[in-house]
Amino acid sequence: MDSSKSNESTTSGLQDRNSAVDDEEQPELCPGFKDVDVFVKYGLGAVLSATKASAGLPQAGDEYDFYRSFPGFQEFCESQGDKLLHCMSQIMQHHGCRSHMRDRNKLTGLEERFDLVVDSNDVILERAGILLDEAEGVNRSQQPVMPAGFQPPKIVVSSWNRKGSGSGIRSEMFRLLHAKNVARPQLKFKEKVDNSNTPFVPKIFIKPNAVKPLPTYFTNKKIRKERPEDLDVPAALADFIHQQRTQEHVDDMFAHPYQYELDHLTIPESLLSKPEIQASCSNLMHDPCSFVDALEDLVALNEKLCKLSEFAVDLEHHSYRSFLGLTCLMQISTREEDFIVDTLELRNEMYILNEAFTDPAIVKVFHGSDSDIEWLQRDFGVYVVNLFDTHQASRALNLARHSLDHLLKHFCNVDADKRYQLADWRIRPLPDEMVQYAQTDTHYLLYIYDCMRAQLLDFNHGQPGLLQSVWNKSKDISLKKYVKPIYTEESYLELQRKQKKSFNTQQLTAFRLLFAWRDKLARQEDESTGYVLPTHMMSKISEELPKEPQGIIACCNPVPPLVRQQVNELHLLVQQAREMPLLKVRKDEVMLFGPHDTSRVSESDLHRFSPGGNQLLYVNAITNLFIFFLLKETETKNDQKSLSVAQMKSIGIIESFENPFRMYLPSSDVHINKNSKFDPSSKIFEVIKRLHMFVSISSLIFFYFTILFYMLLSTEERNKDKQGYQESLQNVATVRQQAESAKGGGKKRERVASEVGETTPKSSMKLMKLPEKPQTDLPPQDSFTPFDYSQSALRVFAGAKLKDNAQFDPNRQTHDFKKKKISKGQKSNFGAGNRSMSYLAGKSDRGFRHNWPKR
């Protein structure tokens, strides 16, 4: 895009919008563009097609390497690359940013350019913000980015919603994306949001349409509500009691409440045969749209829905000013009517709808329901039985695109305007434009559902196979379980890896400390981590390690309110990091998992592990050995005396690594909630990562020790160990699968994980995090010593003294684990921490929190 054009769009674009109200006769915004809308539409289209095109480029790795072997391709790439860089540096220059991009000799790495782009984006966004503010001042009766006719609410709820200056006359200004003055809906919630670092437990307490009754854990308010801190006993005792109480419910606590019903759901013949297509009214305005924000209306709506055989649903969500996110709106369309439910107002009552939503005789049509299913569980305890997802249908039909707007165009010839998708849906009263947008999202969906079913049958020559597969895929989605972001001591590494920066030990420490600070504060204040401190700023502070608090402020533009408020605390953290011995960490070391990281790689990548080159085989072997040591360790833990020479040596070897590499291991200065002992995100996933980190740092030395170790073994022991090694080899595959499955989060994979959970190393790893107090059903051989969870995972790897049995007794817990089948409910939570870490609710990184289905 031409830079001068882009500039005009930020400045005069606004004015254009502002004055459009009183002056219809606007000169062209710039040649070829009538007004901002036209310009923005054009720009968005251009960006979209560029994004698409870039996604279509050969992927890094084999495909790219292959293409690169053609000189023509190489030349083309280089010339296009130059062009792009030139264009970017022009834009940056235009905005007065650092733009050494044109001076390319000075820049060696992609990384630095990437930083430049991030910085420039900040500058540009900041400028846009300033201009918007200016626009407000100059012309305060108009609200630049709000839909016309929107009346700001008169009541400003809390101090952080209040405008500075204290001028009551000044009209409030709202922004669509980052509306500053929207009252925090959380304040009105009857039940406080649970941001604690503990796994999510379903909110359900009555289960309509149950075939299998709801476990007592959920029906018995006493067990459920009584939190340890509510008990009138010392904290430690309260904790213990609570733990004992919940222990027997662990199985239920993490299961999908409608698992049984969904497993036994069969789609009736009638839904697998040719449907009668019922047209939706093509004019939205002709259909009544009811706004539901009172309990009696919700009850009435539920009654209405219960009489139907299908209805369509969609949700709107907000994630910037909340830690977990808020479901703000629910749209429901029947064949006759549209409803918009204010789910902020009725949050506590939404569970009523379970009666219709879990009725297997009523089809619920969603489009791209992956997130909706999770949000329904998280905020309302609502589940869906008998789901039809038109996104899945679109995939099965192999349509050109699978977004809702495409379906609307394709089937209904409606041009949907997805502009409001990312609007701040907390705004009340809802502006008409947003109501209309929301209504459109479900209004045509039942008609599309009819058409798609017909096409799915036609496509398959009248056979129901394809249609059935869509029902099945939809069912898989409804089986998804909400997973809360869990903070673990390693979470920061995952995010750091994405920064593509090589950090020295001090910088890495700063990053770790800031990350922990941010997570803690975000949970406490119920803000997104992106709101507390955007990742790029966190990265910048870590990189620069400012000596003064002012330096921290200077790294942030604009300065996040909580950073300003706590700049002294931040400064202390940075100072703490500066006290670390300074060591340069090679990129492939810090980026630990680099090529070996199982957390992000695709299945095809994983295959490279096994058959691959010597290097990988060797890495593999060492990993396996490590796991083998660990398994051995966990097997014989109760009885230290029975340790074989080999095991003693393995401990020795592991211990020998403690000092030099200690710094790469997480420290204890983090806030892990003790309740996270049920934390499913522990531990094998981290273990694998740690192993790879370990290997990449120390593979040579380790290899040396390994050889030594084997030479020292007696033949008999060697044979014995060989067997163990073989076992561990088998286990490793499962471990990978699990890491993979945790990432994928797909229901099928989850099931696999749960089935193997009892025997895989995951369970033994988990043990390290499990109960801090001895279980009543455990062999009572040990005296009770509280277990420090913040240390738990790393001790084994750091080579901590493993002899204090009372603190770490994997065998015992394996035992317990098997009994309780904890893995069942936990597998999907596994890896949750990493997910949260990739969550940056801010602008640029929205994409990675969920794999947004194409809408």
Q: Which of these ranges, 218-226, 309-317, 352-360, 762-770, lies near ligand AMP under the rule CB under 6 A? A: 309-317
Q: Are 768 and 808 in contact (CB under 8 A)?
A: yes
Question: What is the closest distance, in whole angstroms, from the C-beta atom of residue 666 to ligand AMP in the complex?
Answer: 30
User: Structure tokens of 518?
Assistant: 């941010």
Cβ-Cβ contacts under 8 Å for 209 (sequence gap 6 or more): 261, 354, 355, 358, 359, 360, 385
- The DSSP letter of residue 199 is -
Residues 437-476 that bind ligand AMP (CB under 6 A): 441
316 contacts ligand AMP (rule: CB under 6 A): yes
Nearer to Zn ion, 314 or 772 (CB): 314
Residues 341-380 as x/- pattern, contact with ligand AMP by CB under 6 A: ---------------------------x--x---------
Q: Which of these ranges, 160-168, 313-321, 611-619, 711-719, lies near ligand AMP under the rule CB under 6 A? A: 313-321
- The DSSP letter of residue 150 is P
With H, G, I as helix, E, B as strand and everything else as coil, classify residue 560.
coil
Q: Which of these ranges, 134-142, 310-318, 461-469, 504-512, lies near ligand AMP under the rule CB under 6 A? A: 310-318
Nearer to Mn ion, 329 or 452 (CB): 329
Q: How far apart are the first and last CA of the chain?
A: 26
Q: Which does 6 bind (CB under 5 to 8 A by kind): ligand AMP, Zn ion, Mn ion, none?
A: none
- The DSSP letter of residue 450 is H
3-class SS letters over 370-405: HHHHHHHHHHHCCCCCCEEEHHHHHHHCCCCCCCHH
Rounded distance, CA 548 to CA 567, Å? 10
User: Structure tokens of 742?
Assistant: 């945790």
Residues 355-374 as x/- pattern, contact with Zn ion by CB under 5 A: --------------------
Of 404, 324, 338, nearest in space to 368 by CA: 404
Nearer to Mn ion, 112 or 417 (CB): 417
Q: Which does 846 bind (CB under 5 to 8 A by kind): Zn ion, Mn ion, ligand AMP, none?
A: ligand AMP
Rounded distance, CA 830 to CA 490, Å? 13
Q: Which does 317 bind (CB under 5 to 8 A by kind): Zn ion, Mn ion, ligand AMP, none?
A: ligand AMP
Peptide bond into 595 cis (omega under 30): no
With H, G, I as helix, E, B as strand and everything else as coil, classify residue 29.
coil
Cβ-Cβ contacts under 8 Å for 463 (sequence gap 6 or more): 457
Q: Which does 852 bind (CB under 5 to 8 A by kind): Zn ion, Mn ion, ligand AMP, none?
A: ligand AMP
Question: What is the closest distance, in whole angstroms, from the C-beta atom of residue 403 to Zn ion in the complex?
Answer: 11
Q: Which of these ranges, 346-354, 417-425, 479-487, 750-758, lies near ligand AMP under the rule CB under 6 A? A: 417-425
Cβ-Cβ contacts under 8 Å for 506 (sequence gap 6 or more): 545, 577, 578, 580, 582
Question: What is the closest distance, in whole angstroms, from the C-beta atom of residue 108 to ligand AMP in the complex?
Answer: 33
Residues 520-559 as x/- pattern, contact with Zn ion by CB under 5 A: ----------------------------------------
Cβ-Cβ contacts under 8 Å for 757 (sequence gap 6 or more): 763, 821, 822, 823, 824, 826, 827
Cβ-Cβ contacts under 8 Å for 632 (sequence gap 6 or more): 646, 647, 650, 721, 724
> In terms of DSSP bridges, do strands 310-318 and 326-333 run parallel, antiparallel, or are they unpaired?
antiparallel
Q: Which does 828 bind (CB under 5 to 8 A by kind): Zn ion, ligand AMP, Mn ion, none?
A: none
* Rounded-to-10 torsion of CA 446, 449, 451, 455: -170
- The DSSP letter of residue 682 is -
Nearer to Zn ion, 16 or 314 (CB): 314
Question: What is the closest distance, in whole angstroms, from the C-beta atom of residue 328 to Zn ion in the complex?
Answer: 12
Nearer to Zn ion, 331 or 358 (CB): 331
Question: What is the closest distance, in whole angstroms, from the C-beta atom of residue 312 to Mn ion in the complex?
Answer: 11
Nearer to ligand AMP, 405 or 750 (CB): 405
Nearer to Zn ion, 375 or 664 (CB): 375
Q: Of 314, 338, 721, 816, which lies in the binding site for ligand AMP, with binding defined by CB under 6 A?
A: 314
Distances in whole angstroms, Cα of residue 558 to Cα of each of 122, 227, 573, 676, 725: 8, 40, 21, 35, 54
Beta pairing partners, 318 = 326
Count of beta carbons in the 10 Å neighbourhood of residue 80: 10
Question: What is the closest distance, in whole angstroms, from the C-beta atom of residue 331 to ligand AMP in the complex?
Answer: 8
Of 337, 231, 346, 361, nearest in space to 289 by CA: 337
Q: Of 122, 252, 314, 405, which lies in the binding site for Zn ion, with binding defined by CB under 5 A?
A: 314
**Integer Rg of the chain from CA:** 29
Residues 168-197 that bind ligand AMP (CB under 6 A): none
Question: What is the closest distance, in whole angstroms, from the C-beta atom of residue 369 to ligand AMP in the complex?
Answer: 8
Question: What is the closest distance, in whole angstroms, from the C-beta atom of residue 367 to Mn ion in the complex?
Answer: 8
Q: How many residues are present in the chain?
A: 855
Rounded distance, CA 549 to CA 25, Å? 51
Question: What is the closest distance, in whole angstroms, from the C-beta atom of residue 608 to ligand AMP in the complex?
Answer: 31
Q: Which does 425 bind (CB under 5 to 8 A by kind): Mn ion, Zn ion, ligand AMP, none?
A: ligand AMP
Distances in whole angstroms, Cα of residue 746 to Cα of each of 76, 373, 486, 567: 39, 13, 18, 41
Rounded distance, CA 637 to CA 811, Å? 6
Q: Are 712 and 718 in contact (CB under 8 A)?
A: no
With H, G, I as helix, E, B as strand and everything else as coil, classify residue 341.
strand
Q: Which of these ranges, 295-303, 306-314, 688-696, 704-712, lies near Zn ion under the rule CB under 5 A? A: 306-314
Q: Which does 90 bind (CB under 5 to 8 A by kind): Zn ion, Mn ion, ligand AMP, none?
A: none
Residues 473-512 as x/- pattern, contact with ligand AMP by CB under 6 A: ----------------------------------------
- The count of chain residues that interact with ligand AMP, using the rule CB under 6 A, is 13
Q: Which does 632 bind (CB under 5 to 8 A by kind): Mn ion, ligand AMP, Zn ion, none?
A: none
Question: What is the closest distance, in whole angstroms, from the C-beta atom of residue 366 to ligand AMP in the complex?
Answer: 8
Nearer to Mn ion, 403 or 542 (CB): 403
Q: Which of these ranges, 42-50, 103-111, 279-287, 311-319, lies near ligand AMP under the rule CB under 6 A? A: 311-319
425 contacts ligand AMP (rule: CB under 6 A): yes
Q: What is the DSSP string of 541-558?
A: HHHH--SSHHHHHHT-SS
Q: Which residues bind Mn ion (CB under 5 A)?
A: 314, 441
Of 803, 761, 424, 770, nearest in space to 647 by CA: 803
Question: What is the closest distance, in whole angstroms, from the C-beta atom of residue 444 to ligand AMP in the complex?
Answer: 13
Nearer to Zn ion, 736 or 855 (CB): 855
852 contacts ligand AMP (rule: CB under 6 A): yes
- The count of chain residues that interact with Zn ion, using the rule CB under 5 A, is 1
Question: What is the closest distance, in whole angstroms, from the C-beta atom of residue 602 to ligand AMP in the complex?
Answer: 22
Question: What is the closest distance, in whole angstroms, from the C-beta atom of residue 316 to Mn ion in the complex?
Answer: 5
Q: Which of these ranges, 32-40, 81-89, 313-321, 740-748, lies near Zn ion under the rule CB under 5 A? A: 313-321
Of 481, 538, 547, nearest in space to 509 by CA: 538
Helices of type H across 526-613: 529-532, 535-544, 549-554, 561-565, 567-578, 587-590, 603-607
Residue nearest to Mn ion (CB): 441
Footprint of Zn ion (CB under 5 A): 314
* Site residues for ligand AMP per CB under 6 A: 314-317, 368, 371, 421-422, 425, 441, 846, 852, 855
